[in-house]
Structure 1
């Protein structure tokens, strides 16, 4: 025999890349059972994932393991340990205290008479019941395979449920940036679970949207819009910072060819939309080789998700356009009445009051857009009344008061929520808490909260500002007016907020002041 053969170099066997583990908890008070179980399952793999064992030697230790690990796939649970029903107590704890309905529970007992199988199956939410004497190595292998398949399918169903829940939540408010993210995140999560549960994923787009706005002057630069796993922290980052090397080259290839690129560990799918740029779906940590059905699902996704994304952006763009029109109309009125920066101050004061009062984010945003139109009815009032230096006579005052109804009539027929809210604010912001206001003599909470908030901001700004017919009042005199009118002209709770936050109100007044304000004291 030649020396070359005797001393030939060893060749390292190429081991398959592991793609995670299935966590198995062994609960038994006999150390030998732990050793035998590990030995019997030492070479076990399922979907290219081996088993990771966690050991507990009592019911109390088992409960602690479930607190420490939220991803246990299977528990091999002895019934009789420190007590005759210790295992049953663990099963009860997992299902009813931790509300863990994912982990598969296999009871093992060496004393079947202590816990009859029929009673245990009926009374406890377990998935299998085995006597230790019947669990040969082959049977243990079989039951673990079957149980893992069940666990895998349950996790896929749960991920699909969570993904669908995100899509449904997003569809309730498609104008929100957070909803836009949730919409895409939910779809990506569903697709990820259908492919077997990928670890990491990113949706990459050139659209000008998201929490980190993309430079409109460079629309062809692609950014991570939403991510999962290691890409969750990379949202708003450029493509070349999120992926590198051959993966970045695969992304460029998918963009150039407008196609899908499949590799063993990752994939890149081009998503064609209404725009010419499209988007990319990148997924890594694939749990298994993709089947023809997987690729078909991915193609359906890439054909439709960008169109859905574009539609959401279009809807948002329409809403943003409506908002801009309202703001610009308010600014135009401001110039017409020579009120300086009255609208800007009003908006900020109303937002301050609304947030302190406890209105929702959506309500605050609605009020913010309605306030600029609160005096739109003054467009129908003769300009000579506005420019009059002295006090108005009774007939002039009546004409002036008509601006509330004029404003309401101008806006009331709109079906847009913002304009409908503005119509009520225009009509009712001169109503008084005690019912002595106009035009309808509403009282207390019959006056919409938007109008009650606007009333306080309007009067505060009017008193603290220099106008053509008056000088600005000092702050202490203005606050005295609100104290005296608490519960009369104004909502008491809103007056309390104003008095408490007077420094913040004054900061707004100073921020947008065009002329010298009155002395603070």
Structure 2
């Protein structure tokens, strides 16, 4: 990364205020509300003014807390409609709402009604004051202290949530989905440590385009993940989400591989050893970033793209592996004139896998292994494989040998994917009732991968034209599947198949033979 850091030109505009602190006043004396608002009328802390909410009873206070989940502090009278109305509200806040963030300041005009020591010991309050001792200056000090505590607690909570996301994602860091959570978690921590930035976006040229592999040499940036204004904007181009001077800053940081700090936002180029590039954009910054803040942002931008590059490299290897297997399956299709049969049964098999409750990893493995289910057919002579007439008993025996040949070709691998493919190649012609081949397995002794592949394969074959038959209608094909329920096919899978027949037919329509 370039060491160059850009700053906005100095100006002398007034400091802009960001949001407000919600302060709830609970007191049955209107004069107390008026005096409190007067004393704190020009109050500003961390560029935020106070937004007052006034209620006059304990019941109204409870209602206010139900309607507002971001009350920073409450100035709470003890004696109102009952002698302990304020204490009941304090208990409600902490124990019923489970709100431990709002700072509770008890105020009372009758200290003897609720002795300070008893209240402090028995209730989770943050301060206890007599109304007579709260001068304007003391009230100012109490509010400053309470709001500072409220802010710090929220920063800690945001950091905790961010760290939780990072820890959760790190369990499976080489999954693209978990890496998104990883980035989100780090951004959440970063924004909270900087004082609670409002909007954050991580944009990259490496993903989210129409064809991610082709995007590696592109200068276009796409939103990978975001917070605040940029939440749910994944996949949109930089120019679609940021405009004006901010867009120019983003492009400048990206072009010069630099960090740009402006009054309300900053852009950091995320360094990369590859041709991919990314930027981190944060807006709603505190009025002034400290040297530690800037160091933290620079550290993030130096390291986040390195992790991202590793993830994408791993994904590219997985995609390459999948494409090699698919192309091998397509070569087998070409030999047997089956068009896009492989692609369709992969989609149907994965649909059934999800419906039957297989995990995401199992479903992905099945989808990668299915294209090799008929790899043993490379040993079958073409004059038998493409024969129009009825096969002789000897030719049928040759056809059946393809399952063992395919299994023997794949079985020596220690890779889970190849192991699954070997099993499917051998057992996808086994029947639920034990009348299949090559080993006469039955029921649950046939692996679920094989049972799913068998059903998807059989239906697609029936639905399409081959050298020895015409295509059958959906009604005829499904009726045969239902007739073989509990015989050739797993009855549970057949029920799921029938339930999802419209989606399966959509797959067949979407991927017709060439």
TM-score (norm 1): 0.86
Give the aligned partner of residue 373 of structure 2: 374
Instruction: Tell me the equivalent position of 1:21.
Output: 20
The more displaced of 118-127 and 319-328 is 118-127
Secondary structure (helix, strand or coil) at the match of 1:216 reads helix
Q: Residue 198 of structure 1: CA displacement?
A: 0.8
Alpha-carbon distance in structure 2 between the residues aligned to 1:38 and 1:488: 81
* Residue number in structure 2 paired with 1:248: 247
Cα 1:397/1:311, change in 2 over 3 Å: same
Partner Cα distance (1:476, 1:243) in 2: 53
The equivalent of 2:96 in structure 1 is 97
Alpha-carbon contact 1:208-1:219 (below 8 Å) kept: no
Gaps of 5+ in 1: 1-12, 516-521
Aligned to 2:417: 418
Task: Confirm or deny that 1:59 pairs with 2:42.
Answer: no
Rounded to whole Å, the distance in 2 between the matches of 1:427 and 1:114 is 84
Alpha-carbon distance change, 92 to 369 in structure 1, aligned in 2, over 3 angstroms: farther
Worse-matched range after superposition: 355-364 or 308-317: 355-364
Against the structure 1 CA distance between its residues 499 and 250, is the aligned structure 2 distance closer, same or farther, given a 3 Å change threshold?
closer
- Asked if 1:338 corresponds to 2:337, the answer is yes
SS in 1 for 2:224: strand
- Does the 8 A contact of 1:464 with 1:472 survive in 2? yes
5+ long unaligned stretches in structure 2: 1-11
User: Which piece of structure 1 moves more, 79-88 or 174-183?
Assistant: 174-183
Q: Where do 1:178-327 residues align within 5 Å?
A: 178-209=177-208, 216=215, 219-232=218-231, 234-276=233-275, 278-327=277-326
Instruction: Return the offset for 1:456.
Output: 1.0
Aligned residues of 1:255 and 1:280 also touching (Cα < 8 A)? yes
For residue 137 of structure 1, report the CA deviation from its aligned partner. 2.7
SS in structure 2 of the partner of residue 275 of structure 1: coil
Deviation string 1:378-402 (CA, Å, 9 cap, x unpaired) is 3344545434533342x65555444
Change (3 A) 1:512 1:226: closer
User: Matched residue pairs, number?
Assistant: 502
Change (3 A) 1:453 1:97: farther
Task: Give the structure 2 partner of residue 428 of structure 1.
Answer: 427
- In structure 2, the partner of 1:347 is 346
Contact map agreement 2:365 2:417 (CA 8 A) in 1: yes
CA RMSD of aligned residues (A): 3.1
Residue 137 and residue 376 in structure 1: after superposition, are their counterparts in 2 closer, same or farther (change >3 A)? same
Deviations 1:16-61 (A, max 9, x none): 3212222211222222222222222223222222222122222222
Distance 1:283 1:440 in 2: 63
**1:390 aligned residue:** 390
Matched, 1:71 2:67: no
Contact 2:26 2:76 in 1 (8 A): yes
Maintained 8 Å contact 2:73/2:104: yes
CA distance in 1 between partners of 2:13 and 2:511 (Å) = 71
1:134-169 CA distance string (max 9 Å, x none): 333333222222222222122112211222233334
Q: Which residue of 2 aligns with 1:9?
A: none
Residue 447 of structure 2: aligned partner? 448
Question: What is the deviation of 1:301?
Answer: 1.3
Deviates more, 1:502-511 or 1:34-43: 502-511
Cα distance in 1 for partners of 2:85, 2:439 equals 72
Distance 1:74 1:453 in 2: 59
Instruction: Tell me whether 1:34 sits opposite 2:33 in the alignment.
Output: yes
Residue 174 of structure 1 deviates from its aligned partner by 4.7
Task: Tell me how far apart the structure 1 counterparts of residues 498 and 234 of structure 2 sit (CA, whole Å).
Answer: 42
State the partner residue of 1:493: 492
CA distances 1:393-442 after superposition (whole Å, capped 9, x unpaired):
2x655554443343334334445443343333223322322344344444
Change over 3 Å in CA distance of 1:110–1:440 after alignment to 2: farther
CA distance in structure 2 between the partners assigned to 1:30 and 1:445 by the alignment: 76
2:3 maps to what in 1? none
SS in 1 for 2:231: helix
Higher relative CO (CA 8 A, sep ≥ 6), structure 1 or 2?
Answer: 2
Alignment TM-score, normalising by the size of structure 2: 0.87
Report the counterpart of residue 8 of structure 1 in structure 2.
none
Identify if the C-alpha distance between structure 1 residues 315 and 93 changes in structure 2 by more than 3 Å, giving closer, same or farther. farther
Report which stretch shifted further, 325-334 or 219-228. Answer: 219-228
3-state SS in 2 of match to 1:466: coil
Question: Relative to structure 2, which stretch is displaced further, 485-494 or 373-382?
Answer: 373-382
Q: Is the 8 A contact 2:159 2:192 kept in 1?
A: yes
- Matched with 2:9 is none
Q: Using the alignment, how far apart are the partners of 1:236 and 1:509 within structure 2?
A: 29
Is residue 406 of structure 2 the alignment partner of residue 407 of structure 1? yes
Cα distance, 1:291 vs structure 2: 0.9
For 1:144 and 1:427, the matched residues in 2 are separated by: 75
Q: Secondary structure at the match of 1:53?
A: strand
Q: Which moved more, 1:30-39 or 1:376-385?
A: 376-385
